[in-house]
Amino acid sequence: QAVLLAERQANAERAGTGEKNGFPGEMCGPGLFEVGNVTEENFTDVQTEMLDSLQNMTEKLEEMQTRLSEAGEDDRAEELEEKIAELQNLYADVSEASTAAELKEIIFAHLQTQAVDSLEKEIKFLNARIAEDGNTNDEQLEDRITELTALIADVEGAESLDELREIMSSEIKSGKGPMQQGGRGKMPGRSDRMQRLNAE
């Protein structure tokens, strides 16, 4: 799982960073949701696996950042700098967790923040499209912005990892999420795994 998570992250980043961001945030992937199954018995194993995954992702992003800087793509390198800092902060928080409950709370807060950030970025992107001259889909775009605004309220109102997962899973299954539109973050089997987790 740790390897898959790192590979998915690397693939998402290789696809490029743009206005459309993955949902719930391209840094996370669905793997972090599996912390919902953590118990005091398997806490140490889950924490170690998660720290390894975060370290691997950070190293991959640092390698990409170096290549982008060497290629003169400073803007994209700067974007990666922000993501690297976020990963490092999450790594520090995860490493300080001492119980399964603390780990769940840390990941919940992280995923909630990432989801809101991602949705806000899509709204910004859609507003920019509406501002373009000659755009014939303004009404459709405005409807989508209304949906996204309501979704942000739902995400911010979530009180648990399971509740947040259900909200995000429903958005992905509807085919309306940024992930579906952008095509960057599609992950085979993601919805199926979420359904299995929800069933448990």
Query: Is residue 42 in some structural domain?
Result: yes
**What is the share, in percent, of the chain residues with pLDDT greater than 90?**
44
Query: Is residue 194 in some structural domain?
Result: no
Averaged pLDDT, 191-199: 39
Place of tokens 């599996």: 34
Instruction: Count the domains in the chain.
Output: 1
Residue 179 one-letter amino acid: M
Specify the pLDDT at position 105: 92
Tokens of 16: 């490029």
Query: Is residue 59 in some structural domain?
Result: yes
Query: Is residue 150 in some structural domain?
Result: yes
Q: Are 99 and 43 in contact (CB under 8 A)?
A: yes
* Cα torsion 174, 176, 179, 180: sign: positive
- In degrees, rounded to 5, the angle at the alpha carbon of residue 184 between the alpha carbons of residues 178 and 189 is 90
Domain with 133 in it: 2-187
Query: Is residue 198 in some structural domain?
Result: no
At 187, is the secondary structure helix, strand, or coil?
coil
pLDDT top residue among 27 and 156? 156
Query: Is residue 199 in some structural domain?
Result: no
pLDDT tier at 134 (50, 70, 90 boundaries)?
low
| Distance in angstroms (rounded) separating the CA atoms of residues 33 and 66 | 30
Residue 131 one-letter amino acid: A
Q: Tell me what the pLDDT averaged over the chain comes to.
A: 75
Tokens of 117: 């950030």
Query: Is residue 200 in some structural domain?
Result: no
Give Cα 195 to chain centroid, integer Å.
18
The winner for highest mean pLDDT among 3-12, 61-70, 174-183 is 61-70
Specify the pLDDT at position 157: 94
Q: Are 94 and 106 in contact (CB under 8 A)?
A: yes
Q: Residues 106-125, buried b or exposed e (16+ Cβ, 10 A)?
A: bbbebbbebbbebbebbbeb
Query: Is residue 195 in some structural domain?
Result: no
